[in-house]
Amino acid sequence: MTYRGIAPFASMLVQMLEDEGVTVADWERPEEARGAGADALRDVVVGLVTSGAYDAIKFAIERFRTAAKGRGHATIDGDPDDGGFF
């Protein structure tokens, strides 16, 4: 799974996955710049290794998409259903 977006939302995605019972393997939280400048909202790319029921992963991503309002994107690499983008 790949996350692309502002750094703080990576943690939000992981929390939503875990709330649905999905296991997220060791991952590194991206460094979050503090302050009001443009660096505070810089985009990051984070690879996540997950395991769990596909429906739970998909549901968590749908919840994340609603909450992120376009400021973060999660893809399941190689998902044949929709090209891997949720």
User: Where along the chain do its domains lie?
Assistant: 2-75
pLDDT tens digits, 25-42: 988 888 766 665 555 567
Nearest to 22 by CA among 68, 61, 66, 69: 61
In one letter, which amino acid is 44?
V
Note the pLDDT of residue 40.
Answer: 55
Mean pLDDT over each residue of the chain, to the nearest integer = 84
pLDDT the model gives residue 63: 95
Cα distances from 73 to residues 20, 35, 79, in angstroms, run 18, 23, 15
What integer pLDDT is reported at residue 43 of this predicted model? 86
Where the chain has pLDDT below 70, the residues are: 32-41, 80-86
Structural contact between residues 55 and 7, judged by C-beta atoms closer than 8 angstroms: no
